[in-house]
Amino acid sequence: MLPDHEIRKLVRGLKEEIGLGEDDLVADIDSLIKLAGYNLEESHFRDSFSAASISRAPGKFLILYNKNHHWSEKFRRFTLAHELGHLTIPSHRALLVANVIQSSSPEYTSLEATEREADKFAINFLAPRSAFKKEMITLGYSREDIMSLSDTFQISAYATAHRFVELAVDFPCSLIACHKNGNIEYEIRSIGMKNLVRGHRSLNSLPVNSSTLANEFIRGVNDTVTIQLSLSEWYQDLEVEIRAKESVIDLGYNQLYLALIEPFSMDLPNEDDQGPQDRLPSERWKDSYKY
């Protein structure tokens, strides 16, 4: 896997080439693809790919976008930025030149190194690290906050929550993508969450616990989008009791519900001795906190 800083360098290079600064947001990806000298063809391809890149002639590349996978404009932008990754990352481009077609899976669903590198390229292209951080610290990790960030950067709620967890180094939070079939498809933890549930097995492929809000969504009986629960309802091997907040977003495609998990932290009693108070880490970005 290419390290993050290498991918960011490649993103910076492409953005410079098309007249954008590293932290500039991408308003119109179609015109940027043209500016970069690539052609785009959109059609209802029968293949299972979301998009693909191919070499047509020396120096001529074509991006194919599969309209059968057109879940939203935000999804499309990420998918096209992912293809720009294949066309920019030297080892991927070399494969294209050797006439290997790069067929791409939907955002963050593939474990293949080239797909993950292209996903990283896409997120850095559309949601630059410092620009995203600047926005996220004015917000938190609630459903509304993720939807608002999703609108600002014009990327899906999935890509937004993924980016949030990746950059929320200082505090614990998780993104758990739950399939409508009742199993956990994908789970990622911030560094803070990795420390909090240290050594806990991955939740990937486990069934969604019946006492979670995501399970209510799966059963179609939810009447709210946020609840409080014990963190051990998700991380069942956890031996200490930690209260947490769970919000759920119906992604609307790929049969996924996104569970956003953020544990409450325990404040020490203050000088007025009003007792400890539960607060969410994202409500206190600039404080230090203890569990």
Rounded-to-integer distance, Cα 125 and Cα 127, Å: 6
User: Residue 87, interface with Zn ion (CB under 5 A)?
Assistant: no
User: Residue 20, interface with Zn ion (CB under 5 A)?
Assistant: no
Closest CA to 210 of 227, 191, 181, 233: 233
User: Residue 88, interface with Zn ion (CB under 5 A)?
Assistant: no
Rounded-to-integer distance, Cα 53 and Cα 61, Å: 7
User: Residue 53, interface with Zn ion (CB under 5 A)?
Assistant: no
User: Residue 160, interface with Zn ion (CB under 5 A)?
Assistant: no
- Measured from the CB atom, is 94 or 169 closer to Zn ion? 94
Strands 226-230 and 60-66: unpaired
Shortest distance, position 108 Cβ to Zn ion, whole Å: 11
- Measured from the CB atom, is 47 or 287 closer to Zn ion? 47
Applying CB under 5 A, the span of 73-81, 100-108, 266-274, 277-285 interacting with Zn ion comes to: 100-108
Applying CB under 5 A, the span of 102-110, 121-129, 142-150, 279-287 interacting with Zn ion comes to: 102-110
Shortest distance, position 117 Cβ to Zn ion, whole Å: 9
Q: Choose which of 64, 118, 159, 231 interacts with Zn ion (CB under 5 A).
A: 118
Q: Whose CB is nearest to Zn ion? A: 104
- Measured from the CB atom, is 95 or 242 closer to Zn ion? 95
Determine contact, residues 238/259, Cβ cutoff 8 Å.
no
CB-based burial, 20-41: b 16+ in 10 Å, e otherwise = bebeeebeebeebbeeeebeee
- Measured from the CB atom, is 108 or 234 closer to Zn ion? 108
Rounded-to-integer distance, Cα 247 and Cα 209, Å: 15
Rounded-to-integer distance, Cα 47 and Cα 31, Å: 26
- Measured from the CB atom, is 88 or 104 closer to Zn ion? 104
User: How is residue 82 annotated by DSSP?
Assistant: H
Closest CA to 202 of 216, 191, 188: 188
Shortest distance, position 248 Cβ to Zn ion, whole Å: 28
User: Residue 104, interface with Zn ion (CB under 5 A)?
Assistant: yes
- CB-CB neighbours of 226 under 10 Å: 13
The residues binding Zn ion (CB under 5 A) are: 104, 115, 118
